[in-house]
Amino acid sequence: MIVVSDTTPLRHLIAIGEAGLLGKLYGTVTIPAAVWNELQAEKTPTLVTTWLKLTPEWLSIQSPRTPGPDDPAMESLDRGEREAIQLAIELDADLLLMDDRDGRALALRLRLPVVGTLGVLERADSLGLLADFPATVSDLEASGFYMSARLHDSILERHRLRHKSDR
């Protein structure tokens, strides 16, 4: 499975101690150099930059070799998002991990399969890889991840429905 990630999903999963889920779920995750650079920016939390010093084997860094799509929407994205989309197209990725609304909209228009941080956590929960999904969601919000109250309630309801037969 070929998976490309933008900065935000990786950053937040590192911040809540769940980045290892990416390796368990997808084997290898590839990020473009721009994402690597964003993860090491001065404003990046120390926890993230420390994690990067011990980069796991499942994380691969690769810059796109071809120009991105000729779409005006690319101009509004940051470099990491643009390179992640370019790389996903170039590698014919099975999945693009991205949270940014504009980036996701463009990726979907380009027919790229996209999932965000919450989708990663929900998949991990459905496979029994998370001990406490509601606590993980709380940790995610505490890490600075924004979600509306409606979305928060919706993902917790889906969790309850997934595990209804477990009780």
Would you list the domain boundaries of the chain? 3-117, 119-166
Q: Which residues contact 83 (CB under 8 A, 6 or more apart)?
A: 32, 33, 34, 35, 63, 64, 68
pLDDT of residue 73: 82
The architecture (CATH level 2) of 3-117 comes to 3-Layer(aba) Sandwich (3.40)
What pLDDT, on a 0 to 100 scale, did the predictor assign at position 166? 54
Which helix (H) or strand (E) element contains residue 18? none
Contacts of 131 (CB under 8 A, 6+ apart): none
pLDDT tens track, the chain, 167 positions: 999 999 999 999 999 999 999 999 999 999 999 999 999 988 888 889 899 999 999 999 999 998 777 778 888 899 999 999 999 999 999 999 999 999 999 999 999 999 999 999 999 999 999 999 999 999 999 999 999 999 999 999 999 998 885 54
